[in-house]
Structure 1
Amino acid sequence: MKRALPENKGRIYLDYAATTPVDHAVARAMRPYFGTRFGNAGSVHSFGQEAIAALDAARERIATALGADFREVIFTGSATEANNVVLRGVVKRFRELFPERTPELVVSSIEHESVLETCRDLERDGVAVRSVPVTREGVLDMRALKAALGPGTVLVSVMHANNEIGTVQPVREIADLVRTARGVSAFPLFHTDAVQAFQYLPCDPQATGADLITISAHKLYGPKGIGVLYARRELGAKRGTGTLTITSESALQPIITGGGQEFGLRSGTENVPLIVGAAEAIIRAAALRAREARRVGELRDVFWKKIRAAWPGAQLNGSIANRLPNNLNVWFPGRRAEELLIHLDRRGIAVSSGAACSARSLTPSYVIQALGFSRERARESVRFTLGRQTTTMELDKTARVLDEIKKKKH
């Protein structure tokens, strides 16, 4: 017999970096496209026309929010897929243009697994990958990045903010460095994974300087199963006496082929309900950004003081200054993260020990180890991430429970 799952009512959710509940307005926007407006956007009849109209409207809304062109917004099945489209698509295109050269990818040592694992796979296929270290506080070493750039560099991929420790990278500075390195070539391109950052920081092309930007709806109170990729339409650079102009369609080769949807970059019938939901979530996140950043930042800072009062030996992983306002990643010396997670969950409090993608494996965080800390510290660290529903009362209770756990014997 299957064990009944606990009711969520009265429970405290502090794992908003893993996923978020779907906003009621987002659910309302999607609902008609699961029912009466179910048409395929590729059909010419009225049902199809209704679907393509919704698809176009969603794309236009996102483009407007990003200050981008309509054709620069690409829908994928997830942010992981969007990252794969970027990494594999750029490499594939570069090899077509320059078959005699070895493509090189430059990434930070604390990227999401969807970037790092894809890089490992591409390495097995002959692609060179350079990993750039971060400081003890989790910020990219800019001198090391500059040294890593070479004539074969096709792409630099650095996440805007880390999913585990919340540290924010100087993406505009990185973009300027990449653009300088580009010189008379169309490469390297600059990609940033803005999945965690979008809710709290400006992530448009003007603010980041990025050529390619990944966004995920389910981290923004939208549905799971839908990712958004911004791909700058024109990437021009002087070459010799002429000018080489590369569009996003030609800078990226598709990794999923078929009917040529998404301007040829991602084939497959468009998932209209999720696309509509993603647009609504992105618009709402952008509108609430400044207010929510202030609110959760104030809550987070008070919560951190209470954690330290309850557990004086606790230490923060990553920078407190260059950090997302909703994130605390805390080292509790001498107490395994899984033990703390179980105790907290029994008291109705949901937190995590790191990335949701690797949580089941219980392996120590490679991100915390990349800061120069031990595997033991990585095993003893817990991530708390706040969100729209987080209240002072919830955080007060969590601090009290941590105090009780601290006083218990191992």
Structure 2
Amino acid sequence: MKDKRIYLDYAASTPVDPAVKKAMDPYFSETFANAGALHWQGQQASAAVFKSRDTIAKAIGAQYNEVIFTGSATEANNLVLRGVLRGFRVQGLGFSEKKQKIPIGYTLHPRIIVSSVEHESVLETCRDLAASLKEASLDPEGREKEGVEVIYIPVNRDGIIDLKKLKAVLNERTILVSIMYVNNEVGTIQPISKITKIISDFRNRKSQITNSKIQIKSNYQLPITNYPLFHTDAVQAIQYLDCNVDELGVDFMTLSAHKIYGPKGIGALYVKNQKFGGDLIAPIITGGGQEYSLRSGTENTPSIVGFAKAVEINEKLKNSEAKRVRTLREYLLKGLKKINPKIMLNGSMKERIPNNLNIYFPGHLAADLLIKLDLAGVAVSPGAACSARAMRSSYVLEAMGLPHQRCVGSLRITLGRQTKKGELERFVRILKQASI
């Protein structure tokens, strides 16, 4: 009998939990109506969406109307980055210079701060926004229509951001700071609460300074001291870590279903609209006004229900599963070191989620290792699945200051609910037989 394949790429995606699939099934063919419809069938679907929204909100300590469903975590990240910039522009905040009342968003290039190891959905969006700064053109009134300055915060060799650098680059033009909770390649946990305090202290100092050049020109009278806002991508965090938004102190948080045994094609963005009234973020997809007018489009009821069920199950299993996979990970690392004492762990072992290993195999290329292991029936990854097909050097490891050979010779190994000790033993034997 042929051995079953070994899946060790749970950071890329997880299988849909049977209970999640069961919860979704009725909404494909029975309660299938549009959740926006006023008839009975539509209201049944709407009730399911409401209940699901409330389930997810309670899991993160939020209000139900602070959870905005999107088509993916990538879309959620785009919504916060582009939406906060648009929201800043439409607020009508004024800048008085040479007796001219010109909107701040147009005369001063807003600043967005991110870490150098963010997910590509954040980094690529920032590059796109920054590119508009170079391409900005002046309208007849002399206002630059586009343009945002992006500052990238460096990380140390463990992948943890430089907090002193963050403090240094915060300024009056900063509208958003986006730092991921857990890195998707090396599993590093960022000090979100410390980052929150830095931002909060900066806001407080700013509110105490009277700047005669900055005037409020807003129907909502939103103080400019609301900025900078703070967003965290918690896609890799929620499975094992506490993601209570009040305790973290974030204004926005991104989540994804398919990383926690839910369906693909559904994500969510927490928006702290109880404090801000939703006025500091504008939609990037307009239409029928669904999702509190922040994300138009017919609600994906089956996936929303599945997302909520996945979150519900995850909350019950979080602590026990974290303990189980941590034990398995330690067992695997010992086995790997036994067959090859020269292997090296990338990133911090202390500040790391329990299912992640990112290992450098000296003398090997990640691309070659991936092929050998795949042919032997093992699924691992050289890094983020979104960029794995390009088979390029890991930008995360590069940002951590690791040598080139480590950046091109490392594999990400991530465990999950289906991972068993016997699979890891077989994985180690395969590596040994392949002289890896």
Per the TM superposition, whether the score is higher than 0.5 is yes
Alignment of 1:70-219 (within 5 A): 70-97=64-91, 98=93, 99-100=103-104, 101-125=108-132, 126-183=147-204, 184=207, 185-219=225-259
| Cα distance in 1 between the residues matched to 2:237 and 2:200 | 22
Native 8 Å contact 2:66 2:274 kept in 1:
no
Partner-residue secondary structure (3-state), 1:123? helix
Deviation digits for residues 290-333 of structure 1 (CA, Å, limit 9, x no counterpart): 11110000100111111111111100110011001000000011
| Cα distance in 1 between the residues matched to 2:172 and 2:39 | 51
Q: Which residue identity does 2:164 align to in structure 1?
A: R
| Cα distance in 1 between the residues matched to 2:274 and 2:65 | 11
Structure 1 residue 63: Cα displacement? 1.3
Alignment of 1:306-345 (within 5 A): 306-345=335-374
| Cα distance in 1 between the residues matched to 2:59 and 2:342 | 43
Structure 1 residue 376: Cα displacement? 2.4
Structure 1 residue 287: Cα displacement? 1.4
| Cα distance in 1 between the residues matched to 2:364 and 2:435 | 9
Q: Which residue identity does 2:433 align to in structure 1?
A: E
| Cα distance in 2 between the residues matched to 1:68 and 1:9 | 45
Alignment of 1:291-370 (within 5 A): 291-370=320-399
Structure label with greater radius of gyration: 2
Native 8 Å contact 1:95 1:103 kept in 2:
no
| Cα distance in 2 between the residues matched to 1:361 and 1:338 | 10
Native 8 Å contact 1:175 1:190 kept in 2:
yes
Q: Which among 49, 58, 64 is matched to residue 64 of structure 1? A: 58
Q: Which among 28, 47, 51 is matched to residue 22 of structure 2? A: 28
| Cα distance in 2 between the residues matched to 1:9 and 1:155 | 50
Unaligned runs of at least 5 residues, structure 1? 1-6, 236-245
Structure 1 residue 102: Cα displacement? 1.8
* Aligned counterpart, 1:227: 267
Deviation digits for residues 331-383 of structure 1 (CA, Å, limit 9, x no counterpart): 01110111111111111110000000001110110000001013321110000
Provide closer, same or farther for how the CA distance between residues 148 and 202 of structure 1 changes in structure 2, counting only shifts above 3 A.
same
Native 8 Å contact 1:327 1:384 kept in 2:
yes
Q: Which among 254, 276, 300 is matched to residue 271 of structure 1? A: 300
Deviation digits for residues 69-102 of structure 1 (CA, Å, limit 9, x no counterpart): 1110110000000000000000111122332232
* Aligned counterpart, 1:256: 285
| Cα distance in 2 between the residues matched to 1:110 and 1:344 | 27
Structure 1 residue 8: Cα displacement? 11
| Cα distance in 1 between the residues matched to 2:409 and 2:14 | 25
Structure 1 residue 60: Cα displacement? 1.1
Which stretch of structure 1 is more off in the superposition, 25-34 or 44-53? 44-53
Native 8 Å contact 1:311 1:402 kept in 2:
no
Structure 1 residue 270: Cα displacement? 0.3
Structure 1 residue 228: Cα displacement? 1.0
Which stretch of structure 1 is more off in the superposition, 206-215 or 299-308? 206-215
Q: Across the two proteins, how many residue pairs are aligned to each other? A: 390
Native 8 Å contact 1:17 1:163 kept in 2:
yes
Deviation digits for residues 163-193 of structure 1 (CA, Å, limit 9, x no counterpart): 0000000001111111111222010111000
Q: Which residue identity does 1:323 align to in structure 2?
A: R
| Cα distance in 2 between the residues matched to 1:193 and 1:142 | 18
Unaligned runs of at least 5 residues, structure 2? 94-102, 133-146, 208-224
Which stretch of structure 1 is more off in the superposition, 398-407 or 381-390? 398-407
Native 8 Å contact 2:67 2:270 kept in 1:
yes
* Aligned counterpart, 1:395: 424
Partner-residue secondary structure (3-state), 1:321? coil
TM-score, normalization by structure 2:
0.88
* Aligned counterpart, 1:243: none
Native 8 Å contact 1:165 1:383 kept in 2:
yes
Structure 1 residue 286: Cα displacement? 1.5
| Cα distance in 2 between the residues matched to 1:124 and 1:289 | 41
Deviation digits for residues 258-311 of structure 1 (CA, Å, limit 9, x no counterpart): 000000100000000000000001111121111111000010011111111111
* Aligned counterpart, 1:12: 6
Q: Which residue identity does 2:283 align to in structure 1?
A: P
Which stretch of structure 1 is more off in the superposition, 117-126 or 204-213? 204-213
Partner-residue secondary structure (3-state), 2:413? strand
Deviation digits for residues 22-50 of structure 1 (CA, Å, limit 9, x no counterpart): 00000000000011111001111111011
Structure 1 residue 65: Cα displacement? 1.3
Check if 1:40 corresponds to 2:34. yes
